Amino acid sequence: MILSLFAGLTAIGIFGRVLFIFIISVFMPLTAISFFRYMIPKKEKEYQKALDDMKIRSSRKVSDSHSPLRYALPVSFASLICFFAVVYINFADQAAANVKDSLLLTGAYFGEEKVTLVRQSMVVLGYAFLGGFLWSASNIIRRLVANDLSPSVYYSAGIRILLASATALILSFVLGEQSDATGIINLKSSLPAIAFLTGMFPERILLYLIKLFQKFINPDEINANQLSLYHVQGISMQHKERLEEVGIDNAQNLATASLTQMLIDTPYQSRQLLDWIGQAKLLCYVKEDIDKLRSVGIRSVFDLFSKGKSVEQLQQVATDIGLNPTLLENIYDQVISDRGINSLNRFLNGVNTPAAQSAAEKAKSEGSPPEADTPPLEVSVSSEAHEQ
């Protein structure tokens, strides 16, 4: 029980409790300070190197998206939630003796003074916070080491802890006060573990509750999204979640995103982003027929762009894979005449060519700007994605 677990802090005295509260409360601000002190300069250098490799000139800087003011509110939000939660945990043993009824802790049983349910709910909230905080702390440390600590990470941490606590509490009401007759679980021994796992994976437990009561929610049948990011090769669940943090939740968003902004806002290298963008653009053109083109080695617009096929060859390829020849011809014409795709293809060639990288590094060491064979300043992949 969490009440007896943290009651041991009494032996340490008030100093131990205050120290524990202090450590948990300052974790979020300390990670943000470390990010600005040690990681931002490194991220700026990596960003400039990527631009030099691709021969891009951009006025955008890492500091534009990672200013201290943008972190103040989310860090404060997450820190306050952690502060109040850890204070609650530290003094839960004292509060349990005084609370006999509570609307939050007893739900539908409010007014019946179910002391057992009150204490059970306090256990659930405590372990749900621990699970949510530990998951968020490990995620923040991982993102800090990866030089990818955005303000949204702190908002996500705070929301996760709140969502986990609410979900775990509701789940405890569903399971009841004590073990049922089925013997599937021993509630008193398993509930803390369930609450802790809810803190680690609140979305999964929430999905369980939705399925449990789906007859009341009556959700529409979900169809597979043709423009899902999962259709882009190389994008895993973690990649998808990270891209969603910057507003990219489908292939169309990815196809029209700004390359330079993504270099700043995400931890991914230029070659990886260009490959994803090229796939997303082709996916927007062919949708459910993307696997047919992949079967003949055409997985992105850059592959189609580099083939240099004649009309007869395109028609033969389309016939062989069961694709409408006119559709493939139209896509090919749009791709080779799209200035945005042409620019991205030059960027990709610059990244993949060692000679170009050496020239960029040499120019940088001599203090002269790299040769600009692309438009200067802002570089966006969105403006001409579907130019006719």
User: What is the DSSP track for 328-367?
Assistant: HHHHHHHHHH-HHHHHHHHHHHHHH-HHHHHHHHHHHHTT
Q: pTM (2 decimals)?
A: 0.64
Q: 207 or 99: whose pLDDT is higher? A: 207
Tell me, what's the pLDDT at 42? 86
pLDDT digits (tens, 9 = 90+) for 110-142: 777 777 777 788 888 989 999 999 999 999 999
3-state secondary structure string, the chain?
Answer: CHHHHHHCHHHHCHHHHHHHHHHHHHHHHHHHHHHHHHHHHHHHHHHHHHHHHHCCCCCCCHHHHCCHHHHHHHHHHHHHHHHHHHHHHHCHHHHHCCCCCCHHHHHHHCCCCCHHHHHHHHHHHHHHHHHHHHHHHHHHHHHHHCCCCCHHHHHHHHHHHHHHHHHHHHHHHHHCCCCCCCCCCCHHHHHHHHHHHHHHCHHHHHHHHHHHCHHHHCCCCCCCCCCCHHHCCCCCHHHHHHHHHCCCCCHHHHHCCCHHHHHHHCCCCHHHHHHHHHHHHHHHHHHHHHHHHHCCCCCCHHHHHHHCCCHHHHHHHHHHHCCCHHHHHHHHHHHHHCHHHHHHHHHHHHHHCHHHHHHHHHHHHCCCCCCCCCCCCCCCCCCCCCCC
Amino acid 100: pLDDT: 73
- pLDDT for the residue numbered 41: 86
Q: Are 194 and 171 in contact (CB under 8 A)?
A: yes
pLDDT, tens digit, for every residue of 20-64?
A: 889 999 999 999 999 988 888 888 888 888 888 888 887 788 877
Share of the chain above pLDDT 70, in %: 78
High-pLDDT (> 90) share of the chain, %: 22
- Least Cα distance to 24 among 155, 181, 130 occurs for 130
**pLDDT above 90: residue 275:** yes
75 neighbors 94 (Cβ within 8 angstroms): no
**294 pLDDT higher than 70:** yes
pLDDT (0 to 100) of residue 251: 92
Tens-place pLDDT, residues 220-252: 443 347 788 989 999 988 888 889 888 898 999
Is 371 a residue whose pLDDT tops 60?
Answer: no
